[in-house]
Amino acid sequence: MSRSEQAWEIVRDAILSGKLAPGMALKATDLQELCGMSVSPVREALSRLVATGLVTAEHNRGYRVSRVSRDDLDDLVATRIRLESWALEQSIRHGDEMWEARILSALHVLDRLPRRQPEDQTLFDRQWETRHVDYHQALISACGSPITLTFCDTLRDQNDRYRRLSLAVEGEGRNAEQEHRDIAEAAIGRDAPRAIAALTSHYSLTAQFLRDRVFQAG
C-alpha cells in the first residue's frame, strides 16, 4: 500500500467514525500529524476523498469535511436503493454457487459477532463494521459491472457516515440481523422482487431512524 493510500484510509476512517466531524476544516498540518506523513500523500488523499464526496474543496479556503443534511441523506438513500436494487437483480440472475457461498459466509460471520461490545456502550465496533461491509458487497458482487460496484462503495461510505453519527442508540423495535437474513434468503432463493423489497425496506428503515436521531432538532 502506497503512502497516499495509507493517508486516504486514515483520513477516511476518521471521517466515517466522526473523529473529523461534518463541516470541520481540514488543515494540512493537522492531517500530517494524524497520518504521520508528509504533506504530499495527505494532499493526494484529500483529492481522492473529494471525488468520493466525503470532503469538499473550497476555493481559496482549503478542504472541509462535507456537511450533512436531511436532503442529502434522502437523496443518498434513494440513489443507493436504485443502484443496489439493479445490482442485486443482476447478481441474482447471473450469480453462481460461489456467489451464494460468499453471501452465506459473510452472513454467518456477521451473525457470529455481537454488534455491541461489553467494554463499549456505543454501537461502533471496527470488526463488525468490516463484516457488515463484506455482507452487503457480497449481495451485489455478481452484477457484472465493476463501475456500478465502485459507485455502490462510494454511496455506502457516505451512508455510513450518517449511520455512525447515531451509533450510541439502537433502533427501537428493529431486528437488523433478521433483515440481513431475509435479504440473503430471498437472493439465494432467486426471488429478485422479494430480495429487492427486503433490501429497500432495510435501507429505508435505517434512513428513517437517522432522520429521527440525527436531525431530530431540526
pLDDT at 213: 76
For residue 191, pLDDT over 90 is answered with yes
Give the mean pLDDT of 111-136. 77
Which amino acid is it at 208? Q
Return the closest-CA partner of residue 30 out of 64, 66, 67, 4.
64
pLDDT interval class at 145 (50, 70, 90): very high
pLDDT at 59: 78
Which amino acid is it at 134? D
Query: Considering Cα of 10, then 13, then 19, then 21, what sign does the dihedral take?
Result: positive
The CATH class for the domain spanning 3-65 reads mainly alpha
129 against 90, higher pLDDT: 90
Give the mean pLDDT of 166-181. 73
What percent of the chain is predicted at pLDDT more than 70? 90
List the grid coordinates of 48: 481522492
Give the mean pLDDT of 54-74. 89
Instruction: Tell me the domain boundaries of the chain.
Output: 3-65, 70-214
CATH superfamily, region 70-214? GntR ligand-binding domain-like (1.20.120.530)
Q: What does the DSSP assignment read for 104-156?
A: HHHHHHHHTS-SSBTTB-SS--HHHHHHHHHHHHHHHTTSS-HHHHHHHHHHH
Mean residue pLDDT of the chain comes to 88
Give the mean pLDDT of 201-207. 92
pLDDT at 167: 61
Long-range own/partner contacts, residues 142-145 (CB < 8 A, 24 or more apart): 142/90, 142/91, 142/94, 142/95, 142/96, 142/99, 143/86, 143/87, 143/88, 143/90, 143/91, 143/94, 144/90, 144/94, 145/87, 145/90
pLDDT digits (tens, 9 = 90+) for 8-29: 989 988 888 778 888 999 988 9
| Distance, CA of 95 to CA of 88 (rounded, Å) | 10
pLDDT interval class at 218 (50, 70, 90): very low
| Distance, CA of 76 to CA of 52 (rounded, Å) | 12
pTM: 0.84
pLDDT at 217: 46
For residue 174, pLDDT over 80 is answered with no
